[in-house]
Amino acid sequence: MTNLIELRIDDRSAFADGHEFGETGAYERLRGTAHFAVDPAAPAQAGVFDIDKAPVNAKGLVEFTADFFILQPVDPARGNKRLFYDFGNRGNMRSLQFFNDAPGSNDPQTLAHAGNGFLFRHGYTVLWSAWQGDLVPGNDRVLMRLPVASDNGKPLTGLIQQEYSVSAPGKSWMPLSSSASTRSHPTISLDTREARLTKRRYPYSERIEVAPEDWAFARVEGGEGQDDQGAEIGVHPSDRHFYVKGGFEPGWIYELTYTGRDPLVLSLGHVGVRDLVSYLRHGDKDAAGSANPVGPIEKAYCWGRSQTGRCIRDFIYRGFNADKEGHMVFDGALPHVAGAGTMRMHQRFANLITGSGGVYVDNFIYGDQFPFSYAETTDHFTGKTDAILKRPDTDPLVIHTQTSTEYWQRRGSLVHTDTQGNDLPQPETVRVYLWASSQHFASPRIDKPKKPATGTNLVNTVHTSPFFRAMLDAIDHWATDGTPPPDSRVPSREDGTLIPFDQYAETFPHIPGQALPHGPLSFPFLDFGPKADAGLITNFPPEIKDAEGYPVLVPATDDDGNEVAGVRAPMVQAPLGTYTAWNLRTHGQGRGYPLKLDGSTIPFPETPEERQATSDPRRSVLDRYGSKGEYVDAIRSAAEALAADRLILAEDVDRIVAMAADWGQSRHDVRL
The model's pLDDT over 621-631, given as tens digits with 9 standing for 90+, comes to 999 999 999 99
Torsion sign across C-alpha atoms 180, 185, 191, 192: negative
The residues facing 432 across adjacent strands are: 400
Query: Smallest Cα–Cα separation from 345: which of 396, 441, 272, 394?
Result: 272
Residue 143 Cα distances to 92, 349, 508, 588, angstroms: 10, 18, 45, 37
| pLDDT tens digit sequence for 123-169 | 999 999 999 999 999 999 999 999 999 999 999 999 898 999 999 99
CATH 3.40.50.1820, the chain: domain bounds: 4-147+265-481
Percent of residues, the chain, with pLDDT higher than 90: 83
| pLDDT tens digit sequence for 389-422 | 999 999 999 999 999 999 998 899 999 999 999 9
- Position 542 confidence tier, pLDDT thresholds 50, 70, 90: low
Report pLDDT for 205: 92
Torsion sign across C-alpha atoms 416, 420, 422, 428: negative
Measured between alpha carbons, how far is 414 from 344 in angstroms, rounded to an integer? Answer: 18
Measured between alpha carbons, how far is 105 from 141 in angstroms, rounded to an integer? Answer: 10
Cβ contact 554:408 at 8 Å: yes
Report pLDDT for 1: 44
Measured between alpha carbons, how far is 426 from 417 in angstroms, rounded to an integer? Answer: 9
Report pLDDT for 142: 97
Longest Cα–Cα distance of the chain, Å, equals: 81
Residue 534 has pLDDT above 70, yes or no: no
Tell me the average pLDDT across 651-664: 96
Number of residues that this document lists for the chain: 672
Paired sense of beta strands 62-73 and 27-38, if any: antiparallel
Q: What is the DSSP letter of 156?
A: P
Q: Radius of gyration over alpha carbons of the chain, in Å?
A: 25
Paired sense of beta strands 554-555 and 498-499, if any: antiparallel
Residue 619 Cα distances to 99, 509, 622, angstroms: 34, 11, 8
Residue 570 has pLDDT above 80, yes or no: yes
Residue 539 has pLDDT above 60, yes or no: no
- Position 618 confidence tier, pLDDT thresholds 50, 70, 90: very high
Report pLDDT for 657: 97
**Peptide bond just before 371 cis, omega within 30 deg:** yes
Long-range contacts of 100-105 (CB under 8 A, 24+ apart): 101/444, 101/445, 101/465, 103/445
Return the higher-pLDDT residue of 472 and 595.
472
Cβ contact 341:360 at 8 Å: no
The beta strand positions in 113-213, using DSSP E, are 125-129, 144-145, 150-151, 154-155, 157-164, 173-175, 196-200, 208-209
Report pLDDT for 220: 94
Measured between alpha carbons, how far is 541 from 642 in angstroms, rounded to an integer? Answer: 47
Residue type (1 letter), 65: T
Query: Smallest Cα–Cα separation from 128: which of 105, 147, 153, 112?
Result: 105
Q: What is the DSSP letter of 559?
A: T
Q: What is the DSSP letter of 567?
A: B
| pLDDT tens digit sequence for 80-112 | 999 999 999 999 999 999 999 999 999 999 999
Mean pLDDT of the chain: 93
Report pLDDT for 336: 98
Residue 536 has pLDDT above 70, yes or no: no
| Residue 275 backbone zone (phi > 0: left; psi -120 to 50: alpha; other: beta) | alpha
Report pLDDT for 345: 86
Query: Smallest Cα–Cα separation from 318: which of 265, 394, 250?
Result: 394
Measured between alpha carbons, how far is 62 from 528 in angstroms, rounded to an integer? Answer: 31
Query: Smallest Cα–Cα separation from 3: which of 337, 282, 265, 371?
Result: 282
| pLDDT tens digit sequence for 327-338 | 999 999 999 999
The beta strand positions in 210-264, using DSSP E, are 215-216, 218-227, 230-237, 241-244, 253-261
| pLDDT tens digit sequence for 172-192 | 999 999 999 999 999 999 999
Report pLDDT for 596: 85
Range in 51-65, 246-260, 355-369, 543-557 the model is least confident about: 355-369
Percent of residues, the chain, with pLDDT higher than 70: 95
The residues facing 242 across adjacent strands are: 174
Report pLDDT for 2: 62
- Position 55 confidence tier, pLDDT thresholds 50, 70, 90: very high
Tell me the average pLDDT across 504-527: 86
HSE-up of 266 (CA within 13 Å, CB side)? Answer: 25
Q: What angle do CA 546, 548, 551 make, to 5 degrees?
A: 120
Residue 44 Cα distances to 24, 490, 527, angstroms: 37, 36, 31
- Position 502 confidence tier, pLDDT thresholds 50, 70, 90: very high
Residue 664 Cα distances to 78, 490, 579, angstroms: 38, 27, 15
| CATH architecture of the domain formed by 4-147+265-481 | 3-Layer(aba) Sandwich (3.40)
Report pLDDT for 360: 84
- Give me the phi and psi of 125, to 5 degrees please: -90, 120
Residue 226 has pLDDT above 70, yes or no: no
- Give me the phi and psi of 536, to 5 degrees please: -90, -20
Return the higher-pLDDT residue of 613 and 534.
613
Report pLDDT for 494: 97
Tell me the average pLDDT across 632-660: 98
Residue 225 has pLDDT above 80, yes or no: no
Cβ contact 68:46 at 8 Å: no
Cβ contact 142:67 at 8 Å: yes
The beta strand positions in 52-165, using DSSP E, are 62-73, 82-86, 125-129, 144-145, 150-151, 154-155, 157-164
